[in-house]
Chains A and B, each alone.
Chain A
């Protein structure tokens, strides 16, 4: 049973436009959410996180939105750049299991010049 779901395996966006990556979760105990970016043959790189007490967190071109009632979060990248092309993973953890991040399967973002 997948607790963190990224239902879009891939997304293609034009350079300069907005990229929106979505993530749904089922476990209501999750209280901390993260986005990681991964290039082929490399480990995931931390991008941005959000605690369940917030509904938005912004860092430069990256903004994460959390809708707890819908158990949904999204990552917005504005403006998208070709260097953003990578696989993006959504991850979640519950307060009692801080070592155990549950990851989605990832969304491959392609930003075209």
Chain B
């Protein structure tokens, strides 16, 4: 499978715990994006990387959220001190270059109890 890969696909955690999601983009895709989707809403942009550089962050990305792409390949999204409002699907996407079509992974579901 050469699509965008995300894991874990599902995560249930207790409030206050930290969670980390991993994304492997399509090979040779320079751009990598993180989005969040809650029920009844469309995906909302969180942040994106051009290779290893994080170029834009949404105001939705509070200081409890941190994303990295250390070698310009895979990326991690960490949420510290999770809150119930963090429950959502976290979507990773990638594109080859700016302006190219953005392809999404299958998402990682987070439930904070």
Enumerate chain A interface residues (CB-CB to B < 8 A).
4, 32, 34, 36, 41-46, 49, 89, 91, 97-106
Contact of B45 among A36, A43, A45, A100 (CB under 8 A): A100
Contact of A32 among B6, B45, B99 (CB under 8 A): B99
* B56 adjacent to A44 (CB under 8 Å): no
Q: How far is the CA of A100 from the CA of B105 in the complex (A)?
A: 16
Interface size class of B (residues with CB under 8 A): 20 to 34
The answer to the question of B40 belonging to the interface, with a C-beta cut-off of 8 Å to chain A, is yes
The answer to the question of B21 belonging to the interface, with a C-beta cut-off of 8 Å to chain A, is no
9 sample A-B contacts, Cβ–Cβ < 8 Å, listed by A number: A4-B42, A42-B106, A43-B104, A44-B91, A46-B101, A46-B102, A99-B33, A99-B55, A100-B58
**CB-based closest 8 A-B pairs:** A103-B42, A99-B48, A43-B104, A98-B98, A43-B106, A43-B107, A100-B45, A44-B104
The answer to the question of B43 belonging to the interface, with a C-beta cut-off of 8 Å to chain A, is yes
Q: How far is the CA of A98 from the CA of B100 in the complex (A)?
A: 9
Q: How far is the CA of A101 from the CA of B56 in the complex (A)?
A: 12
Residue of B nearest to A89 (CB): B42
Enumerate chain B interface residues (CB-CB to A < 8 A).
4, 6, 31, 33, 35, 40-45, 48, 55-56, 58, 91, 93, 98-99, 101-107, 109
* A106 adjacent to B98 (CB under 8 Å): no
Q: How far is the CA of A99 from the CA of B92 in the complex (A)?
A: 12
* A99 adjacent to B45 (CB under 8 Å): yes
Residue of B nearest to A99 (CB): B48
Minimum CB–CB distance from B110 to chain A (whole Å) comes to: 13
* B99 adjacent to A101 (CB under 8 Å): no
Q: How far is the CA of A14 from the CA of B91 in the complex (A)?
A: 32
Minimum CB–CB distance from A100 to chain B (whole Å) comes to: 5
Q: Note all chain A residues with C-beta closer than 8 A to B98.
A: 98-99
* B43 adjacent to A103 (CB under 8 Å): yes
* A42 adjacent to B107 (CB under 8 Å): yes
Minimum CB–CB distance from A103 to chain B (whole Å) comes to: 3
Residue of B nearest to A6 (CB): B42
Q: Note all chain B residues with C-beta closer than 8 A to A32.
A: 99
Q: Note all chain A residues with C-beta closer than 8 A to B102.
A: 34, 46, 101
